[in-house]
Amino acid sequence: MTVAIIDYGSGNLHSVAKAFECQSIKNKGAYVRVTNKPDEVASADRVVLPGVGSYGHCKEGLSAIDGLIEALEFAVLERGQPFLGICVGMQLMSTVGLEHVQNKGLNWVPGIVRPIAVSDKSLKIPHMGWNDLKRACNHPIFDDLGPEADVYFVHSFHFKPDNDADLLATVEYGDTVTAAVGRDNLIGTQFHPEKSQGAGLTVINNFLRWCP
């Protein structure tokens, strides 16, 4: 099994790759490849899109590599290979992002990425640190996690899917904030599995075993 972690200049690649490599032994030696080559992405068995920074900057990074978005769409939408978007990588699955200016997303999961709004002035933006997941459904990505797994966040914007069925988990931070979305062979986590210690490694292991 080949896992393509997309390198487009906007991801926490070292930590993400190490976390996946750590779990690959449990999954028959999955081969983890950090790549920006469209042919390697198109042929991958699983695709991971990390993202750190602004929505617009990350979308520009993807668009700047000739053929990369087309390769992603071929692997994920046409071949139906499992996909995991992390942080801004999850946000890019949306229709549009409203960070600074309006930017078009991949439109894989219809919805809008908006600023987190908090009325409690003691709560700072960005939402940074550990928080308990509140699951909206029983999805295989959450197998073997405790009822309120603690995971790590760093973000100022969150994804509001158009369809409530695409909302997999939330956290409370002055309001209900999206923590994970998904449909079909697509999963997105606003939290960072690679920084979430045991809970995050469980999520990665579940993704590697997942057969949508």
**pLDDT score, position 147:** 74
Identify the segments of the chain with pLDDT beneath 70: 25-28
- pLDDT, tens digit, 9 for 90 and up, residues 120-174: 878 899 999 999 999 988 899 999 997 778 999 999 999 999 999 999 999 999 8
Catalytic residues: 87, 192, 194
**pLDDT score, position 23:** 83
Q: Residue 98: give the domain boundaries.
A: 2-209
Q: What is the CATH number of the domain that holds 165?
A: 3.40.50.880
**pLDDT score, position 25:** 64
**pLDDT score, position 26:** 67
Number of structural domains (the chain) is: 1
The Cα-based distances of 210 to 37, 53, 95, 175, 203 in angstroms read 24, 28, 25, 31, 10
**pLDDT score, position 40:** 97
